[in-house]
Amino acid sequence: MSKVLEINNVSKIYGEGDSKVTALDNASLSIEHGEVVLIVGSSGSGKSTLLNMIGLLDRPSNGKILIDGIDTTTLNDDQISSFRNKKLGFIFQFSNLLADLSVLENVLLPRQIGGTNHTAEKEARDLLKAVGLEDQMHKRANKISGGQAQRVAIARGLINKPSIVLADEPTGNLDSVTSETIVQLMKSMAKKLNQTFIIVTHDRPHFGVVDKVITIKDGKAFEGEQPSEMEVFA
């Protein structure tokens, strides 16, 4: 397997002088294509900061982030926007669908931003079928359930065939039964499409066996689950 993500000595520092806060401290890790990876840790540990760095929503203070071998820290703002749309998919705690658009139209949005093509609608329909929403695609997004909306968000995150899908607390707004459905769906899509998922979660037990767990504690990244962190998930 080849590396889809390499993070080399990345730090993120906010503020200066006495108000300086190190949100991420010299983090290094690598992830391979097709892996399902969890980022866990207590609130305020630096999980969201790390996800924002990988998602190119914020720039590191130092260090390098390579996606598909490309050093993203050298890209300018326009290049970052284009790169993010092509290489990254996003799933949020709240599905963030546009209420007045249909399910199908919501899935197509990232493709339209990057310049749609004649295969886009078929691909969107195929993804909606894959996530079990073939019969919902023409409904308005505000007429479906929360669990269905999150499945739409997964399809939308996959429409551009990204190198990485980043999910920020994707089960945090769902009941336990629906959460289990969403977790199994992400795992099955990872296997079926050789799709990398990087997931920030407080809901570690729901995810069961995954390829890798990254624990963030006080801004430092550790591969594996740290015993001292397990009380967070009790």
φ, ψ for residue 196, nearest 5 deg: -80, 130
Q: Which domain holds residue 154?
A: 33-60+75-233
| Per-residue confidence (pLDDT) for residue 231, from 0 to 100 | 42
Q: Which tens digits make up the pLDDT trace of 6-42?
A: 999 999 999 888 888 889 999 999 999 999 999 998 8
pTM score of the predicted model:
0.89
* Overall number of domains in the chain: 1
- Tens-digit pLDDT profile for residues 156-192: 999 999 999 999 988 887 788 888 888 898 998 899 8
Asked whether residue 103 is domain-assigned, the answer is yes
Pairing of strands 70-71, 62-67: antiparallel
- Indicate whether 105 belongs to any domain: yes
Flag whether 67 is in a domain. Answer: no
In a domain, 5, yes or no: no
* 211 within some domain: yes
Q: What CATH number is associated with residue 206?
A: 3.40.50.300
Would you say residue 233 has pLDDT above 70? no
Higher model confidence: residue 42 or residue 75? 75
Q: Could you tell me if residue 9 is inside a domain?
A: no
Q: Does a structural domain hold residue 21?
A: no
Contact 26, 63 (CB under 8 A): yes
Neighbours of 198 (CB within 10 A): 24
